Amino acid sequence: MIHDQCDIYVTLSTFGESGSEPIRLLKSSGLKFGVNQTGKRPSAQEVLQNCCEAKVLIAGVEEYGAGDLSNFKRLKCISRCGVGTENIDKVAAEKLGVIILNTPNEPVQAVAEHTVMLMLALLRKILDLDRDTKAGSWKRHTGNLLQGKVVGLVGYGRIGKKVACLLRPFGVEILAYDPAALVERPTVKINDLDEVLAKADIVSLHCPPETVFIGRQEFLKMKKGSRLINTARGDLLDDHALAEVLELGHLAGAALDVFPQEPYSGVLLSNEKVILTPHQATLTQETRLAMEIAATQNAIDFIAQNK
């Protein structure tokens, strides 16, 4: 269905499935809008075909390169339903006068809960227990308590702080490293990254892209027998190096929700020391609805402020 004249076009294939409020907001705004009804994630070219004259896109993770952006006739804003904006060419957007908005607050609780869940699943060997019990083997695996552990948070922004908050009742010691904290949060006590890696029983990544990279050298700096969690960005670590240090026995395990390429088809798929989830830390009904409401309101407010 072509929506050439809409003010707002929603690219999300599941928009409104978690609740009716985003659709209600669009209808009550009085603006013309269209919604992707294909049931699948569109490419930027497919978005162009459906609504090349939209002023605002309520967008997902589809890629918007310089060429794509220049082909939209009236585009002035991309309202991301989510936090990351790496899928949008920011240099091109700035040149074209396209504003990029996102929803950084809404996913915080969900990602923090997912992170703590992965920590507990690794420590208590939940996947091993589930696999063996279903196979008819009444085999018990000795796990570890979260209580008393040192948790290193690499990145201490919204999500890192929420993870720390959720962990406090478990009686853990928190170490934090944040490359931006000296500029943005001078009151936060910041540990050296090498110190965090060396002392932490669990290292959990919560940084933006291109701020930290955990490769073989960094993995070997980690405490022997420690564990790694990544619910931030897939390109923060080298999955081949992670597979190597797990094979060496230097790390006891890892849990990843994000990957260098997605869908993931890499070396960690067959590694039983690793828990893998398909980039779904934010995927709760409550969070999805909150993000869609926020992204929709951002779009409506942008048009109201830029008439």
Amino acid present at 169: P
As given in the structure block, the two tokens for residue 89 are: 């060419």
Is 262 marked active-site?
A: yes
The single residue of 173, 184, 247, 262 carrying the catalytic annotation is: 262
Decide if 213 contacts 237 (C-beta within 8 A): yes
How do the residues of the chain divide into helix, strand and coil, expressed in percent and rounded to 5?
40, 15, 45
Residue 183: other Cβ atoms inside 10 A: 8
Tallying the residues shown for the chain, one arrives at: 307
The single residue of 279, 286, 288, 292 carrying the catalytic annotation is: 279
Which of 240, 221, 242, 220 lies closest to 230, judged by CA?
Answer: 242
Q: What are phi and psi of 96, to 5 degrees?
A: -90, -5
The single residue of 3, 114, 233, 288 carrying the catalytic annotation is: 233
Is 216 marked active-site?
A: no
Which of 69, 60, 57 lies closest to 95, judged by CA?
Answer: 69
Amino acid present at 182: L
- Catalytically active residues, by annotation: 233, 262, 279
